[in-house]
A and B are shown apart, each in its own frame.
Chain A
Amino acid sequence: MKTFKSYADVPEAPLADVPSSEEKTSGWRSNRPVVDLKNCTKCYLCWKYCPDVAIAINGEGWPEVKYDYCKGCGICAEECARDCIVMEKEV
């Protein structure tokens, strides 16, 4: 990480070289969504409602949680019409 000795070293605009994809937020999570695809109909409600783009659709069209970014808010579990997602305590 860069260190700044004076205001003169600070870039003019708050513009970071590191994109936000480099900022992993899995440590924020106390509950993790666990998906059971048995009853999944690929309706993608979970994908649509995830406020952090932390649900991806894999090559076969199944939803997949990106655990590096998921903060464990539980919205996907709440919205899933077939109750395929349960929130489990992180250990």
Chain B
Amino acid sequence: MMMTKVVMTGNYAQSYAAKLARAQVVAAYPITPQTSIVEKIAEFVAKGQFDTQYIKVESEHSAMQACISEAALGSRTYTATSSQGLLLMHELLFWAAGQRAPVVMGVVNRAVAPPWTIWTDHTDSMAQRDTGWIQYYCESNQEVLDTVLQAYHVAESTDVLLPAMVMEDAFFLSHTVEAVDVPPQEKVDGFIPPKRSPWILELGKEKKLGSFMMPDVYMEFRYNVARGMMAARKRVLEADEEFERRFGRNHGGLLPEYKCDDADVVLMTIGTASCTAREVIDEMRREGKKVGLARMRVFRPFPQDEVQRLASHVRALGVLDRSWGFGFSGPLYTEVAGAAYQGRHKPLMKDYVTGIGGRDITPPVLRGIFTDLLGLKEGAQETDWVGLRRPEKEVLRNA
């Protein structure tokens, strides 16, 4: 097989993937740290390497509307954003899902203001949980490129027809270079051939999109979005398997596991913290400690069966949240605990909140979390903000 390795950032992996997917429309609005995605696409277009309708819009709200409208005409669309930009899109994210527009969007996870910051955490995309978007979180630049392609495969399935966002951690992926295999165009064409949406608007046929609905039918429309998302669970797994058949690699489906089979305790992570965690697990395994990792690759649709299976055979399950739901817990913890509660065996659980606003999640931080998990007892506190600078008195009490 002809392979081309290119050294590129996670952002360029998004741009290459949009080009390989032959997105017919790209809506572009800049925001740090996303900007280099649409800049690279602009460069492809300027050099005549990417035949797309490149629309420069005046806001992220308009970027999403441009994609939704173009999808209504049957176009394959792509856009990308971050943080405040994603938050400004919020209203239209519901429109995309409700209108069954299979838009694919790159999201560079950046913490939310105030205070102003550009570093990573997952607050921006976690806040979009209920919009009806499929949500992928990546841990390498290769995975970013491959997942954008897989996202089209899933989003455009006729039993799904929902938009998908592909997340990458700001700077750890967005601006860090790795060797990435860029698959040949004809192989990508075979994997995601252009699809005709079953309900698009056409010239000469009078239709009205986004109609007003009365209570006698609105509920059924929303249930159909729920059905699309349920179907996406199977389609995500199929897309990853089909990708492996064609390209020789997969990314572990919904919830890839690492050394979980015989693990006493498992830590659940999202994004780039996972790579560091695997290093720490290897070290601790050499010391005879039975620790494992599960990486939440797909947060929506939620891998409920996989979480329950995992929860059934571990003593303690830790969750690393890189965002916080004010008033209760980290969003990942809530979801994992909710799924585990419905299983037969309920492991001890703890929420480790760390890496907020780009604070480094280093090997010693993760070793501390695993050590805490190994010693976790019934009735222990359920949440810890790891690495938080605290008053001296509080440190002593916690110790």
Interface residues of A (CB under 8 A from B): 4, 6-7, 10-20
Given contacts A6-B220, A12-B161, contact A19 B198 (CB under 8 A): no
Residues of B within 8 A of A12 (CB): 100, 161, 198-199, 224
A7 and B208 form a contact (CB under 8 A): no
Give 16 A-B pairs besides A14-B209, A18-B206, A19-B208 with Cβ atoms closer than 8 angstroms. A7-B220, A7-B223, A7-B224, A7-B227, A10-B217, A10-B220, A12-B199, A12-B224, A13-B209, A14-B221, A15-B207, A15-B211, A16-B207, A18-B208, A19-B206, A20-B208
Q: Mark B205-223, 1 if CB is under 8 A from A, else 0.
A: 0111111010011001101
Q: Roughly how many angstroms separate A11 CA and B217 CA in the complex, as a whole number? A: 11
Residues of A within 8 A of B224 (CB): 7, 10, 12
Residues of B within 8 A of A16 (CB): 207-208, 211
CB pairs A–B below 8 angstroms (15 shown):
A6-B220, A7-B220, A10-B221, A13-B99, A13-B100, A13-B209, A14-B98, A15-B208, A15-B209, A15-B211, A16-B208, A16-B211, A18-B208, A19-B206, A20-B208
By DSSP majority rule, is chain A's interface helix, strand, loop, or mixed? loop
Q: How many A-B residue pairs have CB under 8 A?
A: 47
**Count of residues in B whose CB is under 8 Å from the partner chain:** 21
B208 and A11 form a contact (CB under 8 A): no
B206 and A14 form a contact (CB under 8 A): no
Please name the residue on chain A nearest to B98 by beta carbon: A14
Interface residues of B (CB under 8 A from A): 98-100, 161, 198-199, 201, 206-211, 213, 216-217, 220-221, 223-224, 227
Residues of B within 8 A of A20 (CB): 208
Please name the residue on chain B nearest to A2 by beta carbon: B217
Residues of A within 8 A of B207 (CB): 15-17, 19
Residues of B within 8 A of A18 (CB): 206, 208
Contact of B220 among A4, A13, A15 (CB under 8 A): A4
Please name the residue on chain A nearest to B227 by beta carbon: A7
Complex A-B, nearest 8 residue pairs according to Cβ-Cβ distance, in ascending order: A7-B220, A16-B211, A16-B208, A19-B206, A13-B100, A10-B220, A13-B199, A7-B223
Q: Roughly how many angstroms separate A14 CA and B216 CA in the complex, as a whole number? A: 14
Q: Roughly how many angstroms separate A55 CA and B209 CA in the complex, as a whole number? A: 24
CB distance from B100 to the nearest CB of A (A): 4
Residues of B within 8 A of A6 (CB): 220
Of A10, A13, A15, most B-chain CB atoms within 10 Å = A13
Contact of A4 among B100, B201, B217 (CB under 8 A): B217
Given contacts A6-B220, A16-B211, contact A11 B199 (CB under 8 A): yes
Please name the residue on chain B nearest to A9 by beta carbon: B220
Q: Roughly how many angstroms separate A8 CA and B241 CA in the complex, as a whole number? A: 29
Q: Roughly how many angstroms separate A16 CA and B209 CA in the complex, as a whole number? A: 6
Contact of B99 among A7, A10, A14 (CB under 8 A): A14
Please name the residue on chain A nearest to B219 by beta carbon: A7
CB distance from B131 to the nearest CB of A (A): 16
Please name the residue on chain B nearest to A10 by beta carbon: B220
CB distance from A72 to the nearest CB of B (A): 20
